[in-house]
Structure 1
Amino acid sequence: MKFVLKLLLIILLSTPLIFIGVVYLSVAQEPIVEPGGSTLSPRDITKAKNLLKQHDPRSLRNGQIKNLILDSKELNLLGNYLINSLNGHLIVTLNDKILKLQSSFQIPPNKLENYLNLSLLAQQNGDLITIRELQIGNLNLPNWISNLIVKQLLLFLQTAEPTRPFSQSLQSVRITDQQLIVRYKWNPDLLHVARKQFISTEEQERLYHYQKRLIKISNQPNLGRKVSLNHYLNGLFNDARKRSDSNNPVEENRAVLIVLGQHLSGHGHRLLFPETAHLHPARKKITLSERHDFAQHYMISAALSAIGDSQLADLIGLQKELSDSNRSSGFSFTDLAADRAGNYLGKVATESEKSARAVQKFFHFHPKETDYMPSVKGLPEGISARAFKTQYGSVNSEQFNQVEKQIQQRLKETAFYTQTENY
């Protein structure tokens, strides 16, 4: 009996030491994946957007079986976007039915180190995927432990309330030579579940509030068919300013930009806000510098930037123009200027409480459009793909960079930039 008690005492006393040892081995001073280590091109963005179109919930039937097929570039795009809010970066490669994942997460400063590094090697064996290697920091886990962890994690996902509907929809996952194939069965209820589980009640309330406010603005009497974006920015940011007396101004601003960006994207509000399905905003042509496309570019970029990825917002704007170069509209540096200006709005409106309040104050005083939209006079537009290649070569050329620098300089000369750059 004394031996048992002594053994129990040793285990109890050593457990904290074991835990400290595991933590010590799990963190590192340097990341194995540097920020920006997985670079994305406008072409990658095009592929991702086409992928999203193929799996647009509005075009799927209840019970429809779909295959989501991802190559390594698409996995990197999706993965980095999903973990961006966690201060994480990853690189995924696929080869010979083996998936290799390396990721680094920056953790809050502490007395140990500052990065959590994760390496994973998974292989397709028949109908099963097995873990060949799992390393957390400097801690190498035996394969049997790695596979046990994965098995328990899958069991948890299948039974936990937030993730069970998604697990039930999942049919299979396979690793091929160059692709990851996810087979799923579509259930329209997943949208409602996702909104309920992954968007907090407070955020849902904010988004719903500003959506109703946007509809109210659109339905104002004596408002013409053509309306300046100023009218919406002033009304919504004024509302955000009042609500920020008792709420976080960053979150209020983010909700404003998401709602307005969603509205100008043309996708409608019913998918994101089914509660407002009975509300019908008057059809308005919202313009910026007398152009509807400028208002679209400006607000969609602002919304993308506000949700946490200004680099992605820049890339999507650039991709849109490269795509247009193959169409009748052509590549437009004027549209790119609207993208860059919107990106800056989204960034500064959500960077800190101080900058968020500065943005609210700016739009409270009814600024002119030229106060936040840079001049596009003389900027080339309507450039065909052939002409673009002849004149600029690529988006990395010196000729292209010169025009981009000109756009950036014009943005810096706006009243909005000069009043917010120090926040």
Structure 2
Amino acid sequence: MRFLAWLAASLLLSLLVVFFLLVAALEPAPLVTRGETISPASIAQAKLLLARNDPRRLARGDERTADLPAALIDDGVNHLANRLLHGRGAFVMGEDSAQIRLSVRVPGLPGPRFLNLGAVFKEAEGEPHVASATLGSLPVPAALIELLMASAIKLAGFGDDWQLARQSIRRLMFEPGRGVVVITYVWEPEILDRALALAFTPEDLLHLEAAQRALAGLLDHHGPRARVPLPEILGTLLAHTGDGSLVQRRAALLVLATHQSGQSLVRLLPQARQWPRPRPVKLILLGRGDSAQHFAISAALAAWAGEPAANAIGVYKEVEDARHGSGFSFADLAADRAGTRFGQLVADASPRLNAALGRTLTDADLAPALGGLPEYLSESEFQRRFGGSGNAAYAQVMAEIERRLAALPLYR
């Protein structure tokens, strides 16, 4: 009995020490102050990085060296901090080290109180390790941070996946002059398999197959090149072909976006080869096929990856169109923003969305009028008239798009 009493007292004392250390580490100001946006440049960098290191072209044991843009890592850290912790994050690179910074506001305390964490990584051979760490102004043993990180990842069910990814790294180097982190790694195909397993749970797969079959059924009675209103298909997919859960609705949006992009889910999920493929029917929104495509893809991106990622990809796509395609289009951006707002309503399980799905959806429910929004701008014309995304003229048009969106009951 004495031993049990001693053990209980020791555990209580340890918890009290940890509690008071955390309270002492709280600070009145955040270490990281920034928005939650992702830059279109990061989307371009991610696309180029994937093209240069396409895992489908690698064999087991291949050793590769990749240059990861520090700005891309910085945006990624901030995005994950926002999505997982409702905080902010940053990646700051030095000559032979880099620091990951996190700031999370602690609710329920008088005045603003923030938990600020800094973890430093050094250049090294082999898998990366934390070299030093701070919690607020308090130094924290690096081994403790490693243990806490490993425990949290394991509790989340990703322990084996995290360990496999870390063990594949052979060397880590920082080159601030070029603004890149150089990683040498050995490819293991299991990394991709596990990444897909993390992205799509067994429940996701069941709902994706059901959504694919439902979409194929909805389009089956239309002619191969028919023009079908997007709201008609979207409303039925979300309201009448599943249980109304977030998983079901995200699956429906992804299937719809894949169809709209002209791609096949087989590229992501080989088992989708056995599922029926919807007819190549053209869905339209506001009388336009491109608006339906932009809306559907942005809605899926927002529901799966969040609104900042969807916004950044939409702007990136228009910049690319200005350079090599049909030209920059604010009308397309309006459809993107409408889709993004819709996808966020799905992610938030919005009562407004549930109410809208209880009636017949129309174009006017989903997207604003596009009249007067400049389109088909070449790169030179876009630069002459709007001077880039930070220009006042650009901001004025984007504000008009947001005003039109805010006038729609669904997005108020």
**TM-score with structure 2 length normalisation?**
0.83
Q: Which amino acid in structure 2 is aligned with residue 336 of structure 1?
A: L
Deviations 1:106-128 (A, max 9, x none): 45546897533211222225678
Distance in 1, matches of 2:356 and 2:61, equals: 45
Matches within 5 A, 1:20-99: 20-36=19-35, 40-61=38-59, 63-86=61-84, 87-99=86-98
Q: CA deviation at 1:174?
A: 0.7
Distance 1:292 1:5, change over 3 A: closer
* Cα distance between partner residues in 1 of 2:164 and 2:216: 33
Establish whether residue 323 from structure 1 lines up as the match of residue 320 from structure 2: yes
Structure 1: how far apart are the matches of 2:71 and 2:266? 32
Question: Does 2:371 match 1:377?
Answer: yes
In the TM superposition, residue 400 of structure 1 has moved relative to its aligned partner by: 1.6
Q: Identity of counterpart residues, as a percentage?
A: 27
The match for 2:269 is: 273
The answer to whether residue 239 in structure 2 is matched with residue 238 in structure 1 is yes
The two structures have a TM-score, normalised by structure 1, of 0.81
DSSP-derived class of the 1:374 partner: coil
Structure 1: segments with no counterpart, 5+ residues: none
- Residues 20-29 or 65-74, more deviating: 20-29
Q: 1:5 to 1:252 in 2, by over 3 A?
A: closer
Q: Count matched residues.
A: 401
Pairing 1:8-407 to 2, within 5 Å after superposition: 11=10, 14-36=13-35, 40-61=38-59, 63-86=61-84, 87-107=86-106, 109=108, 115-124=114-123, 131-141=130-140, 145-147=141-143, 150=146, 160-168=159-167, 170-178=168-176, 179-197=180-198, 199-218=200-219, 220-228=220-228, 229-239=230-240, 243-244=243-244, 248=245, 250-281=246-277, 282-361=279-358, 364-365=359-360, 367-407=361-401
* Partner Cα distance (2:265, 2:130) in 1: 42
Alignment deviations for residues 303-333 of structure 1 (CA, whole Å, 9 cap, x no partner): 1222352133222211211121112411111
| CA separation of 1:117 and 1:199: change in aligned 2, threshold 3 A | farther
SS at match of 2:66: strand
Q: Does structure 1 retain, via aligned residues, the 8 Å contact 2:291–2:332?
A: yes
The Cα offsets for residues 52-92 of structure 1, whole Å up to 9 and x where unpaired, read as 33344445455544333212201112222333321132111
- 1:180-224 CA deviation, whole Å, 9 max, x = no partner? 223334444434323334544433333332233223334x13434
Determine helix, strand or coil for the equivalent of 1:176.
strand
Q: How far 1:140 moved relative to its partner?
A: 0.9
Q: Alpha-carbon deviation of 1:12?
A: 5.4
Q: How far off is 1:19 after superposition? A: 2.6
**One-letter code of the match for 1:88?**
G
Q: Residue 38 of structure 2 contacts residue 79 of structure 2 at CA under 8 Å; is this kept in 1?
A: no
Q: Distance in 1 between matches of 2:227 and 2:15?
A: 64
Counterparts of 1:188 and 1:127 in 2: how far apart (Å)?
19
Amino acid at match of 2:327: G
CA contact (8 A) 2:105 2:115 kept: yes
Whole-angstrom CA distance in 2 between matches of 1:391 and 1:412:
26
CA contact under 8 A between 1:26 and 1:116: conserved in structure 2? yes
CA displacement, residues 323-353 of structure 1 (integer Å, 9 cap, x when unaligned): 2111241111121111111112112233244
Instruction: Name the SS for the 1:100 alignment partner.
Output: strand
1:253 maps to a residue whose letter is R
SS of residue paired to 1:184: strand
Query: In structure 1, how many angstroms separate the alpha carbons of the residues matched to 2:275 and 2:125?
Result: 52
